[in-house]
Amino acid sequence: MYVAALTLDVLLGDVRSLKQKRSVVKPLVAELRRRYPGASVAETGHLDLHRRAEIGVAVASATATHATEVLTECERVVAGRPEIELLSARQRLFSEEE
C-alpha cells in the first residue's frame, strides 16, 4: 500500500478578506473532492492570511503510480485556475516499508 501527499501553496488573486478567501478556496476544495472521490482534500495552512492558502491532498493506493497520477492531476486542476497562482507544489510518497 502507498500513501501519497501533496501540499499546494497558492496565492489568491484580488482577495481582501478572509470571507473572500473562503469564497475561492472552498469551491476549489469541493471540486477536487468531487473529481477525485478517493482523495482527502483540505485547507491545511495559512488560515489567518487572506491572500495565501495551503491545500493538502492525500491518496491511498495499491500502486505508487496511481497515487502519484492522482496528485499530479490535482496539481494541474489548481494550476489551471486563473484566479490562483500556484507558488509551490510538494509531493511525498510513503510505502509500507517506511
In tens digits, the chain (98 residues) has pLDDT values of 999 999 999 999 889 999 999 999 999 999 999 999 999 999 999 999 999 999 999 999 999 999 999 999 999 999 999 999 999 999 999 998 76
Burial class (CB in 10 A: 0-12, 13-18, 19+), 67: buried
Instruction: Tell me the pTM.
Output: 0.91
Strand pairing report for 84-95 and 39-45: unpaired
The identity of residue 9, as a single letter, is D
Residue 17 belongs to domain with CATH number: 3.30.70.1120
DSSP-derived letter for residue 18 is H
Closest by alpha carbon to 15, among 66, 73, 97, 81? 81
Q: Domain tally for the chain?
A: 1
Domain ranges, residue 35: 2-95
Can you give the pLDDT at residue 71?
Answer: 97
